[in-house]
Amino acid sequence: MKQPSIISRKEVSVFSTPTLKGTSAVVYQLGKATPSNQLQAIAGEEGAPATCFFYQLKANTYCVRCFNASQEIQLCGHGLLATAKIIARLGVKNFSLSTKSQVVKVACESESDRSDNQVWLIFDDTSIIASQPPSWSNKVFNELPDAVFTVGDSDGYFVMQWPDGFNLKSLTLNPTELTKHTDRALIATCKTTLPEYDYCFRYFAPQHGVVEDKATGSAHRVLVSYWNKRLNKCNVKALQLSNAGAEMIGRYDVGKVWISGAVSILE
């Protein structure tokens, strides 16, 4: 089998702080398109939360594919941020990432107190539809949410909100029951009483090989829109309450959702 044309390999830390571990990605720069089975084989060997591969399609546009150890990820927020950081380091400032599901714009902002650019992913706003609590909720959770919403198709998301200040860490979920009843990943969220954050959340997707994710940029994208409408805030800061913990920032601007956070290339 012909080997992929690998230009570089980088390890990247995403959404971490001095006290929160965030998550990680491995990013490969390729010289050209490569068959999916070869990319999946490399990702399986890496065993990282996301292994991403990119190559240049045309000026300021790059094709990106992201995989976990077992399957391709349709839209991996932290993997796209990691890839965007690598491309920005190549000297490209504003560009687009062509993913399996959509084209995502990237903006790089310089800040006076930073030695590096802040990298932002820019998405279209998403439709979030109020829904009745599913009949199986009491089989999945130890405590039921106050409100339930759906996003996307039948394999999209549930957004479930608990009361303000609720201890989301105390929430327990039965992954077998969730997988039995729906293909939707589940975003559990509430307004937090922590002064430095606007909201907190957890992300569960056992149907897609992740019982609970460490740090989920794609979920944060949905929540920036969700909480903008409830807090009437354009700029938000979120805490993901996984065991590792993660910090994310977001911005809502005229129908566009911007997401970012700390992204560090491990030299």
The string of pLDDT tens digits covering residues 228-239 is: 999 999 999 999
203 bridge partner residues: 187
Is 6-124+261-266 CATH 3.10.310.10? yes
CA–CA separation, 166 and 107 (whole Å): 35
User: Which tens digits make up the pLDDT trace of 185-229?
Assistant: 999 999 999 999 999 999 999 998 889 999 999 999 999 999 999
**13 close to 48: Cβ distance less than 8 angstroms:** no
Q: What is the rounded radius of gyration, in angstroms, for the C-alpha atoms of the chain?
A: 18
- Per-domain boundaries in the chain: 6-124+261-266, 128-255
- What's the token pair of residue 108? 């790089």
Does the global pTM surpass 0.75?
A: yes
Q: What is the mean pLDDT of the chain?
A: 93
Q: Exposed/middle/buried for 238, CB within 10 Å: 0-12, 13-18, 19+?
A: buried
**Is the pLDDT reported for residue 112 higher than 50?**
no
Question: Do the two domains 6-124+261-266 and 128-255 of this chain adopt the same fold?
Answer: yes
Select the CATH number that applies to the domain covering 128-255 from these four: 2.40.50.140, 3.40.190.10, 3.40.50.300, 3.10.310.10: 3.10.310.10
211 bridge partner residues: none
